[in-house]
Amino acid sequence: MTATPNPHILVVDDDPLTRMMATEALREGGFATSEAEDGVRALAAFEALHPDLVLLDVMMPGLTGFEVCRRVRATPAGELVPIIMLTGLDDSESVEQAFDAGATDFISKPINWTLLRFRIRYVLRSAQLLKELVRNKESLSSAQRIARLGSWEWFVPADEVQRSAQYYRLFGQQVDTFGEGMDSLVAHVYGPDRPMVGAALAGARKGVGYQLTYRVVWPDGSVRTLLETAERTSDSDDPQALLMEGSVQDITEQVEAQRRIRQLAYFDPLTGLPNREFFRESLLSAAARCLRNDSRCAVMVVDIDRFARINDSLGPERGDQVLQVIGHRLRERMGDRTPAEPAGGGGLPRLKVARLAADEFGILVSDAGSVEDVLATAHELLQVVQAPIHVPGQDITLSARVGVAVMPDHATEAEAILKAAETALNRAKRVTRESVALFSEEMKVAAFLRFTLEGDLRRAIGEEELQVLYQPIVDVARKAIVKAEALVRWPHLARGSVPPPEFISLAEETGMIVPLTRAVMERVCNDIAELGSALPPDFRISINLSGVNFMDAQLIPTVRAVLDGAGVPASRIEFELTETVLMRDLDYATVILAQLREMGIRVAVDDFGTGYSSLAYLRRLAVNTLKIDRSFVGELDDGQGVAIVKAVIGLAHSLGLEVVAEGVETAAQLEALRQQGCNLIQGYLFARPMSIRALAQSLACASVTLPESPAPAED
C-alpha cells in the first residue's frame, strides 16, 4: 500500500491559536492543510475540498463537533474519511458521544503536536486499509451478482452427482480431474477440514441437510474458503429416492476481510505483532490457566535503549525498518527456539510476543519452567535484539533492557504481573550494569525507601538543608541580566545530590510541596532584601509554583506574609506556572491570578506550546510572560520548530506579553531566536544556575558578553 503524498488535513477549531499551532505542526510534518473556524464553514469546506482527514474540535459555537461529525458521516464522501476529535473534556461520556457520532479517534487536550503528527499518519494508514476492505466487499458483491456460485445435485442411492461448470472452477479443477461420486470432494479439501466434511456427507446420505464452511486446496497449492449449503429436495421418505441439492460459494475474500479487521483491532500495523490489547487479553487467559492448573507463566518487557536516536539520526523510516526487524526476530525466536527444559521435562514453553509501545515489546511465556529457565530465555531474547541489524548503507547495533516477572511468585493477577515486569524493567534502566532484571523483594522495598526519602525531605525542609540557586535571564538587546529563575537543589547528607524531578514529585505526592515552596519563597525574598539597591530597579526573580501550590487555599495569604516578613515589594517576584496547572480550573485560575496581579506580582506561563496553547485563555488570564519550551528551542539547531517558535513569539508580542526562550545552549539557537524578535534568553549558553553571591557579581558587571559558542556541557 502506497501512502497518499501530502495528505490534506481540514483543521476545524473556533480558537485561532489552536488552528495556527495545529496547521504549523502539520505542515512541518508534510501535510497540506485547510482551516475552518466553525461547524458551518467546516461542512462547506469538506464538500468543496474532500480532505483526507478532519481534525475537529468538539466545543464550538453553533454546530458542535459532534453534529459536524454526524453530518459528514451522512454524506457519501464522508463515510470513510477519518475524523479525529479534539477536546479539553476527558469524561467517558464525551468519548462515547464522539464515537457514537462517527469519530475515528479522540484526543484530549493538551495536545502534543509532535505525537499528533504520528497519530494522524497511523489513522490515515488505518483508513487506507479500511477503504481496501470496502473495495474487497464490493468485489465480492460483484462476484455474487455474476453468479459466482457452484451448484450440484446428488442422487444418493446411486451416488450420481451432477455439478455445474462453475462448481469445478471453485476448486481449480476440470470435470475430468475432479473425480466421480460425492466422496471425491473430500480429496480436494484441506486436510484438517476433511473429518468435518466427511461427517456432513455421512449425514446427507440419510437426508440431513447442512451448512458448512471448509477450505480447499487448489492444484497450485493455494487455499480457498468455501461455504456449502445442502438440503433434501425429494418429498418421498423412500431412501431409494433420496435426492440432495446444494450450492457452493467462494467466501475467501469475506474471510480475509474479517481477518484484516481483526488485524487492525489487535495487531500492530508496523510489525504485524499483536498489540497491547491482544497481549493483555492473552495475559488474562494465561493467568486464569495458571491459577486453575497450579502452573507458572512469565512476562518479559523488552525496551530498546535510546531508540529515539535512530529516528533522530537516520529518520523515522529507518527507525520503522529497525522495529520491523526486531519484531520479526522475536517472532521467529518464538517458534524455533529450544530453551533448556526443567528437570523432568516439561516441553517447549509457549511464547507470545507483542509490541506494547513504540520501542517496547512484551513476551508472554505460558507453562514456564524454573526462574533460571525464564531468565535464560530473557538473555537469549536480549541477544536477538542486540544482533547487528543491516539496513541500506548502515549496520546498526542496539542495546536493550528486559524486565521479568513470574506468576504466581510475584503476582497472581494479570495486570499486577505486567506491572511487576515493567517495574523490573525500570530497575534495569536505572542500573546500567543490569540488562535483565527479575522482579524481587528488593523492588517491593523501594516503596519503603521512598518513604524514608520522604522523611529525609521533611527534615531537609525544616532544617533549611535545601539550596536555592539562580539562573539568569538575559536581555540580549540590552546585554544585561534582567531576571533570574530560582531553582531548588537538595544536597542530601547521605545520598549526595538528589535529582530535582525525584524530590519535587515526591513533595507533590506527599503534600510537602507547600512547605517546600514557602521555604523557597522565604529564601528568595531574604536574598532580594540582602542585595537591596544592588539589584536593578526592574529586576525580578521567578519562582515555580506546582499545581498543588496553586490550588492551595492559603497561597495568597502565604505570599503576603512572606513578602511582608522580608520587606520585599511584590514587583520583585514573578511566579511561573504551566499551562496544565492553569487549565485545571480556569475560573479558579482567573480569580487567583487577578489577586496576584493586584498585589503587583507578575505571572509567567512556563513550557508554553506543549499544552493547550489557547488564545482564549491567554486573553482571559492575567499573565505577563510566555516561556517557550526548551523542546522547541532544541529543534532550532537543525531548522525544525521555527514555525511554532515564530508563532509563539508573534502571539506574545501581539498581546503585549514578554517572551522568554528557555534551554538556549547554542549560538545557532540564539541567532534564530533573535531573528524572530525574542530578546529574553535563558540557558547554559549564558550561565548555569548560581549562588546569590555569584548572581550579585554578575549583576555588577557593566554588560553581558554575548557568547559565540555554548558553555561546556554539564557533567
Residue 280's φ and ψ, nearest 5 degrees, are -65, -45
Average pLDDT rounded to a whole number, residues 623-648: 84
The pLDDT value recorded for residue 89 is 67
The pLDDT value recorded for residue 614 is 63
Measure the CA–CA gap between 270 and 257, rounded to whole angstroms: 19
pLDDT digits (tens, 9 = 90+) for 253-282: 888 888 777 777 788 888 888 888 889 888
**What are the cell numbers at 648?**
509563539
**Buried b or exposed e, range 620-635, using 16+ CB within 10 angstroms:** ebebbbbbbbbbbbbb
pLDDT digits (tens, 9 = 90+) for 432-450: 567 898 988 677 666 466 6
Task: For strands 297-304 and 8-12, give the pairing.
Answer: unpaired
The pLDDT value recorded for residue 2 is 46
The pLDDT value recorded for residue 416 is 86
Using the 8-state DSSP alphabet, how is residue 54 labeled? E
Measure the CA–CA gap between 350 and 334, rounded to whole angstroms: 8
Residue 401's φ and ψ, nearest 5 degrees, are -130, 150
The pLDDT value recorded for residue 362 is 92
Using the 8-state DSSP alphabet, how is residue 14 labeled? S
Residue 549 pLDDT exceeds 60:
yes
As beta bridge partners, residue 487 has 469
Instruction: Work out the pLDDT band at 341, boundaries 50, 70, 90.
Output: very low
The pLDDT value recorded for residue 445 is 64
The pLDDT value recorded for residue 520 is 95
Bond into 76 cis (ω within 30): no
Which has the closest alpha carbon to 62: 92, 38, 88?
38
Residue 146 pLDDT exceeds 60:
no
The pLDDT value recorded for residue 145 is 46
Measure the CA–CA gap between 169 and 173, rounded to whole angstroms: 6
Q: What are the residue ranges of helices labelled H in 371-499?
A: 371-386, 414-430, 441-462
Edge-to-edge strand ranges of the sheet holding 297-304? 350-357, 360-366, 297-304, 400-407, 436-438
**What are the cell numbers at 217?**
486446496
Residue 205 pLDDT exceeds 50:
yes
Give CA torsion, residues 507, 509, 512, 513, to 10 deg.
Answer: 60
Residue 166's φ and ψ, nearest 5 degrees, are -65, -30
pTM listed for this prediction: 0.48
Instruction: Work out the pLDDT band at 137, boundaries 50, 70, 90.
Output: low
The pLDDT value recorded for residue 560 is 95
The pLDDT value recorded for residue 182 is 93
The pLDDT value recorded for residue 368 is 84
Measure the CA–CA gap between 45 and 36, rounded to whole angstroms: 7
Measure the CA–CA gap between 34 and 411, rounded to whole angstroms: 51
The pLDDT value recorded for residue 147 is 46
pLDDT digits (tens, 9 = 90+) for 18-57: 899 899 999 988 899 999 999 999 999 999 999 999 999 9
Of 424-433, 642-651, 668-677, least confident by mean pLDDT is 424-433
Residue 489 pLDDT exceeds 60:
yes
Share of the chain above pLDDT 90, in %: 37
Measure the CA–CA gap between 366 and 684, rounded to whole angstroms: 51
The radius of gyration of the chain from alpha carbons, rounded to an integer in Å, stands at 34
Of 48-62, 419-433, 465-479, 639-653, least confident by mean pLDDT is 419-433
pLDDT digits (tens, 9 = 90+) for 609-632: 665 556 667 778 888 999 988 888
Which has the closest alpha carbon to 180: 206, 212, 219, 154?
154
Average pLDDT rounded to a whole number, residues 124-140: 76
For residues 621 and 694, which has the higher predicted lDDT (pLDDT)? 694
Instruction: Work out the pLDDT band at 714, boundaries 50, 70, 90.
Output: very low
| Mean pLDDT rounded to a whole number for the chain | 85
pLDDT digits (tens, 9 = 90+) for 501-546: 888 888 887 788 999 999 999 999 999 999 988 899 889 999 999 8
Instruction: Work out the pLDDT band at 340, boundaries 50, 70, 90.
Output: very low
Map out the domains of the chain with their CATH numbers: 8-124 (3.40.50.2300), 147-256 (3.30.450.20), 272-439 (3.30.70.270), 466-700 (3.20.20.450)
Residue 342 pLDDT exceeds 60:
no
Residue 195's φ and ψ, nearest 5 degrees, are -60, -40
Question: Cβ distance 652 to 631 under 8 Å?
Answer: no
The pLDDT value recorded for residue 159 is 93
The pLDDT value recorded for residue 202 is 93
Which has the closest alpha carbon to 218: 251, 246, 178?
178
The pLDDT value recorded for residue 444 is 61
Most confident of 65-69, 255-259, 544-548, 636-640: 65-69
pLDDT digits (tens, 9 = 90+) for 452-476: 778 888 888 888 889 999 999 999 9
Give the three-state DSSP class for 475: strand
Residue position matching grid coordinates 497511523: 122
Q: Letter for the amino acid at 287?
A: A
Most confident of 209-213, 419-423, 434-438: 209-213
Average pLDDT rounded to a whole number, residues 683-702: 90
Question: Cβ distance 485 to 494 under 8 Å?
Answer: no
